[in-house]
Amino acid sequence: MINVTKTFLPAQEEYQTILKEAWNTGWMTNRGVLVKQLELKLQDYLGTVNIIAMTNGTLPLQIAIKALRLQGEIITTPFSYVATTSSIVWEGCTPVFVDIHPDYLTIDETKIEAKISDRTSAILATHVFGNPCNVEAIEAIAKKHDLKVIYDAAHCFGVTYKGQSIFNFGDVSTCSFHATKLFHTGEGGALFCKPQYFNTIFSHHNFGHNGPEQFNGLGINAKMSEPQAAMGLAVFPYMESILASREKIVEDYSTALASLNLQFLKIREHTIWNFSYYPVIFEDEKQLLNVKLALEKCSIFPRRYFYPSLDTLSYVETSNLPYSASISKRILCLPLYHNLDKNSLQDIINTIKDNL
Ligand SMILES: *Cc1c(COP(=O)(O)O)cnc(C)c1O
């Protein structure tokens, strides 16, 4: 069986050797040695500052909305994982959707200003499939209208834009280390922020604690545990080789599928991408469903990332967003992971060719 992705697992002994350090200290959570080690390694590797490891990639979004004191309306993208929208609603704000760019698949920055009202407090956009939003244009709009900017950078491990980590853009950026993501800790995530927000966010992610007997205000529990950090530390040394094997698979897909009548993701200029997903866009939904069914008959399971368009969720107001509506119905992410073998890749390619 071939799924859209496969979790990279190091040798079990490597995980256990690292986990033993937690056993030795008898300390399983509350920011033990392994979480701190992981944060330092990631900060160094990614070229970021102000990282806080967290227990998943969704709580950082909710904590960011709280910490930036956002209220009213938040401008966002309809083309993302459900967590981008649900976090806004969960925190009592209203998502206002702006359509996506048809090639980059990120929020169309030229359509943001038309949706800004007196109630708008922020822009929460996703760097979809690791492809950066137009961060300069978004920053300029935010400055002009006094809005905060949060990036859902769940897919962005290792992505750089104009030579620096994409996590360095926005007031806050978040990442997911879920088992289906490029770098993982089983469940896990991280938040990156401007220095002025660090203390508030740090305190928010640990119940608001300021020492054992004092509180700095409201908080929640989003701490990463030691077993999670141990998985991250065990996976981390393999990241370069994981990226290299994914790059090769992406090249093979691109060469084999180039002549077909399919649309591919356009990566933004000045980006070093991370080969996190391989989406293809079909002519229409019928063609997508044909290919998907044919692949499934061969026990190959691609995923419809992202479908449905988030403005169709039951708990938000529907918008008129032609590109997101159309592309979400026609886009399919093909299997992509470190050890996807040549034969399987060829089967996937042949099945697509035979069913267009
Ligand atoms: C995976 C993902 C999340 C949520 O991350 P979790 O670690 O699963 O909580 C949020 N946004 C996007 C775009 C994602 O793909």
Domain ranges of the chain: 2-237, 239-354
Pocket test for ligand 1, best of 81, 126, 166, 328 (most atoms within 8 A of CB): 81
Report, as an integer, the average pLDDT of 7-22.
97
Coil, helix or strand at residue 206: strand
Report, as an integer, the average pLDDT of 203-222.
96
Interatomic CA distance for residues 115 and 138, integer angstroms = 13
Interatomic CA distance for residues 290 and 148, integer angstroms = 43
**Ligand 1 atom with minimal separation from the 59 CA:** 9
* CA-to-CA dists, residue 79 to 64, 106, 222, 279, 288, angstroms: 20, 8, 26, 13, 18
Buried b (16+ CB within 10 A) or exposed e, 81-107: bebbbbbbeebebbbbbbbbbeebbbb
Distance (angstroms) between ligand 1 centre and the Cα of 129 equals 11
Written as one letter, the residue type at 260 is L
Interatomic CA distance for residues 219 and 222, integer angstroms = 9
Mean pLDDT estimate for the chain: 98
| CATH 3.40.50.300 fits domain 2-237 | no
Q: What is the DSSP letter of 26?
A: T
CATH topology of domain 239-354: Aspartate Aminotransferase, domain 1 (3.90.1150)
Instruction: Check residue 150 and give its pLDDT.
Output: 99
Distance (angstroms) between ligand 1 centre and the Cα of 169 equals 18
Does the fold of domain 239-354 match that of domain 2-237?
Answer: no
- Candidates 349, 354, 323; CA nearest to 334 is 349
Distance (angstroms) between ligand 1 centre and the Cα of 213 equals 33
pLDDT band at 81 (very low <50, low <70, confident <90, very high): very high
pLDDT band at 317 (very low <50, low <70, confident <90, very high): very high
Q: Is 84 in the pocket of ligand 1 (CB under 6 A)?
A: yes
pLDDT band at 109 (very low <50, low <70, confident <90, very high): very high
Instruction: Check residue 355 and give its pLDDT.
Output: 96
Distance (angstroms) between ligand 1 centre and the Cα of 180 equals 9
Instruction: Check residue 274 and give its pLDDT.
Output: 98
pLDDT band at 147 (very low <50, low <70, confident <90, very high): very high
Instruction: Check residue 213 and give its pLDDT.
Output: 95
pLDDT band at 67 (very low <50, low <70, confident <90, very high): very high
Cβ proximity of 79 and 99 under 8 Å: no
Other CB atoms within 10 Å distance of the CB of residue 16: 12
pLDDT band at 218 (very low <50, low <70, confident <90, very high): very high
What residue owns the CA closest to ligand 1's atom 13?
A: 81
pLDDT band at 326 (very low <50, low <70, confident <90, very high): very high
Distance (angstroms) between ligand 1 centre and the Cα of 259 equals 33
Distance (angstroms) between ligand 1 centre and the Cα of 188 equals 10
What digits encode the pLDDT tens for the residues 227-237?
999 999 999 99
Interatomic CA distance for residues 100 and 98, integer angstroms = 7
Q: Is 131 in the pocket of ligand 1 (CB under 6 A)?
A: no
pLDDT band at 121 (very low <50, low <70, confident <90, very high): very high
Cβ proximity of 301 and 2 under 8 Å: yes
Pocket test for ligand 1, best of 131, 156, 176 (most atoms within 8 A of CB): 176
Q: Is 276 in the pocket of ligand 1 (CB under 6 A)?
A: no
Instruction: Check residue 10 and give its pLDDT.
Output: 97
Distance (angstroms) between ligand 1 centre and the Cα of 235 equals 19
Coil, helix or strand at residue 169: coil
Q: Is 189 in the pocket of ligand 1 (CB under 6 A)?
A: yes
190 bridge partner residues? 53, 175
pLDDT band at 162 (very low <50, low <70, confident <90, very high): very high
Coil, helix or strand at residue 329: helix
Percent of the chain having pLDDT more than 90? 99
Interatomic CA distance for residues 261 and 144, integer angstroms = 41
pLDDT band at 253 (very low <50, low <70, confident <90, very high): very high
Tell me how far the alpha carbon of residue 222 is from its chain's centroid: 17
**Ligand 1 atom with minimal separation from the 178 CA:** 7
Distance (angstroms) between ligand 1 centre and the Cα of 81 equals 6
Percent of the chain having pLDDT more than 70? 100
* CA-to-CA dists, residue 44 to 41, 49, 53, 54, 226, angstroms: 5, 8, 14, 18, 20
Interatomic CA distance for residues 117 and 115, integer angstroms = 6
Report, as an integer, the average pLDDT of 77-103.
98
Instruction: Check residue 105 and give its pLDDT.
Output: 98
Q: Is 170 in the pocket of ligand 1 (CB under 6 A)?
A: no
Instruction: Check residue 136 and give its pLDDT.
Output: 98
Q: Is 83 in the pocket of ligand 1 (CB under 6 A)?
A: yes
Q: Is 183 in the pocket of ligand 1 (CB under 6 A)?
A: no
Distance (angstroms) between ligand 1 centre and the Cα of 67 equals 19
Q: Is 154 in the pocket of ligand 1 (CB under 6 A)?
A: yes
